[in-house]
Amino acid sequence: MSAGNRPPEQRGHRPDEAPGTGGRGPAEPASFHEMWRDLRTIGRAADTGGYRRYAWTAADADCRAWFQAQAEARGLACELDRNGNQWAWLGDPSAGDAVVTGSHLDSVPDGGAFDGPLGVVSSFAALDELRRRKAEFTRPVAVTNFGDEEGARFGLACVGSRLAAGQLTREKAYELKDADGISLPQAMEAAGYDPAAIGPDPERLARIGAFVELHVEQGRALDLSGDAVGIASAIWPHGRWRFDFAGEANHAGTTRLVDRRDPMLTYAQTVLAARREAELAGAVATFGKISVEPNGVNAIPSLVRGWLDSRAPDQATLDTVVAAVEQAARERAERDGVDLAVVRESFTPVIEFEHALRDELNKILGGAVPVLGTGAGHDAGILSTSVPTAMLFVRNPTGVSHSPAESADEDDCLAGVRALADVLEGLACR
């Protein structure tokens, strides 16, 4: 593997080494179906059927090799940037105003096959479709694979794009450690990359005129509307709050109910309040993580700590939901003789995708495409502060994501490829 700060690796197509083409000629790179089949086995856990493609592991290296092979099979120039993101260029990147598409290949623990890879595979397939259409490009085009999007190993999502966009400093990135205490630079080095050059990459981002990420939908909006493809409007604002409920540990058998200060009761009422307030506001709110002290089956807890994850279409709604949940928790805490402390641990404001680009996509796709918000973060959201970005979503019939059960029908995937090809043609072939 080349080092992060080496000059771009320029490789033209060589027919004698065209992996992933199933032994066919250079004019016929792997089809969508074949690319999907080749990726399918990489990093897949035999016991769960889920994917464990974490940053800078062997599975990640296999995904990266697959990306490079696909690029080479299409005669695209492969480039590895200083932050470990991969780029496959058609045309001269230095010409600027490039149209870039792509996504990520890493996964959450036991993730599904589609979150990320669908965008990368569809990008290559869309370029193939444009070659079949004999499209003539007037702008450079690239396919990307952003590194460590899910943050499964180091606990921070979108590391590759955050570094490039200057939203994560080199110093902070160097402090990231995985569960075994291995730091990000150590992991990069072990995988054969040079971590010395990681950091903001404004020159590279300045080449991009538009970034379009295709992604499997992580909800059921398209299934409910009966559409195969949609356009993203915004990524909902999102935060995490820690609720500490402090009561009094005591014997579960001998303490009269009226004498108890049981923080579990307060917590339970707070979970119900979160559900109720989210439902009323058209938001989502989840207590998905909890810790209990002393955590004994025959002890009234002294402390219950619960983490609230909440997201809403806009800031005001999110503020209202969280304030109402906190208010309900305080009222119940008073009644239970419990002390409550609430700490906001993280927050990401709303990310509105650029309206002009979004409208252009809608026009290119015939104007009848649903426009929907999403509660999930993406590289496109990170890049939106630096370059005009847009997203296409492909229908997910169950809405399940971050699970081996994540799915999309092949017909819908191919509709996504055609939509992405239309978008690239509309943007880059004018």
| Chain residues in the site for Zn ion (CB under 5 A) | 115-116
Among the listed residues 340, 337, 316, the one whose alpha carbon sits nearest the alpha carbon of residue 327: 340
| Cβ proximity to Zn ion, 4 vs 116, nearer residue | 116
- Residue pair 91/141 in contact (Cβ under 8 Å)? The answer is yes
| Cβ proximity to Zn ion, 270 vs 401, nearer residue | 401
CB of 149 to Zn ion, least distance (A): 6
Among the listed residues 310, 351, 2, 6, the one whose alpha carbon sits nearest the alpha carbon of residue 158: 351
CB of 369 to Zn ion, least distance (A): 20
| Cβ proximity to Zn ion, 277 vs 379, nearer residue | 379
In the structure encoding, which two tokens stand for residue 382, read together? 């990170």
| Cβ proximity to Zn ion, 148 vs 262, nearer residue | 148
| Cβ proximity to Zn ion, 211 vs 245, nearer residue | 211
In the structure encoding, which two tokens stand for residue 110, read together? 């036991």
CB of 162 to Zn ion, least distance (A): 14
CA distance 51 to 212: 25
Count CA atoms closer than 13 A to 200's CA, side-chain side: 8
CA distance 290 to 310: 15
| Cβ proximity to Zn ion, 84 vs 263, nearer residue | 84
| Cβ proximity to Zn ion, 108 vs 274, nearer residue | 108
In the chain, the amino acid numbered 347 is F
CB of 320 to Zn ion, least distance (A): 28
In the structure encoding, which two tokens stand for residue 290, read together? 């909890």
CB of 205 to Zn ion, least distance (A): 20
| Cβ proximity to Zn ion, 120 vs 361, nearer residue | 120
CB of 186 to Zn ion, least distance (A): 25
CB of 111 to Zn ion, least distance (A): 9
Q: What Cα–Cα distance (Å) separates residue 423 from each residue in 14, 286, 305, 389?
A: 29, 36, 47, 12
Please state, as a whole number, how many other Cβ atoms lie within 10 Å of the Cβ of residue 84: 28
Identify whether 294 is preceded by a cis peptide bond (ω within 30 of 0): yes
Count of positions (residues) in the chain? 430
Q: How far apart are the first and last CA of the chain?
A: 36
Identify the three-state secondary structure at position 374.
strand
Distance between alpha carbon 33 and the CA centroid of its chain, in Å? 23
CB of 270 to Zn ion, least distance (A): 30
Q: What Cα–Cα distance (Å) separates residue 323 from each residue in 236, 243, 272, 317, 330?
A: 17, 12, 14, 10, 10
| Cβ proximity to Zn ion, 72 vs 115, nearer residue | 115
